Amino acid sequence: MNISGFNHLTIDTSSVEKSMPFYLEIMQATLIHKGRRDAYLEWGPIWICLQEKDNLGTSCGYGIHHIAFSIDEEAFFEAVQRLKEKKVRIVRGPSRRGKGWSVNFLAPDNVQFELHTSNLVERMEVWH
């Protein structure tokens, strides 16, 4: 896979309103978009999505939902094919997310990863 770097981090939270001060005031992230149950923050070259969840139904609790890595669109479908050939469990996608392509899959111990072809600016274009 031709992964070109880290893309974003999605964090499940019980309350976006209660969580945002930590990221904005303590971690000094910049608010890019706030929805009813989500917020997108920019933190240097990294973007973070806080998503509010009522009941996760898992033993993991709240915390990191998945870790996303950037990949060029030209290499995306080859990577998806490799995941399938290696019988890696795909939990979402491949699908169009915003202006890019995305696929989520599980690593050992059910750690969720995502390959994503777009960036924060392109993602925010679909919210406005």
Sorted by where each begins, the domain ranges of the chain are 3-125
**pLDDT tens string 93-105:** 999 987 899 999 8
- How many CA atoms, within 13 angstroms, populate the side-chain half-sphere of residue 37? 6
Lowest-pLDDT choice from 25-29, 37-41, 49-53: 25-29
Which regions of 21-111 does DSSP assign to beta strands (E)? 30-34, 38-43, 46-52, 63-71, 90-97, 100-106
3-125, which class in CATH? Answer: alpha beta
Rounded to whole angstroms, how far apart are CA atoms 117 and 105?
15
Q: What is the pTM of this model?
A: 0.65
H/E run at residue 19:
helix 16-21
The residues carrying an active-site annotation are 114
Per the DSSP assignment, residues forming a β-bridge with 101 are 96
Q: Using the predicted structure, report yes or no on whether residue 65 has a pLDDT greater than 60.
A: yes
pLDDT category at 55 given cuts 50, 70, 90 is low
> What is the per-residue pLDDT for 5?
83
Rounded to whole angstroms, how far apart are CA atoms 71 and 4?
6
> What is the per-residue pLDDT for 34?
95
**pLDDT tens string 13-27:** 888 998 888 788 877
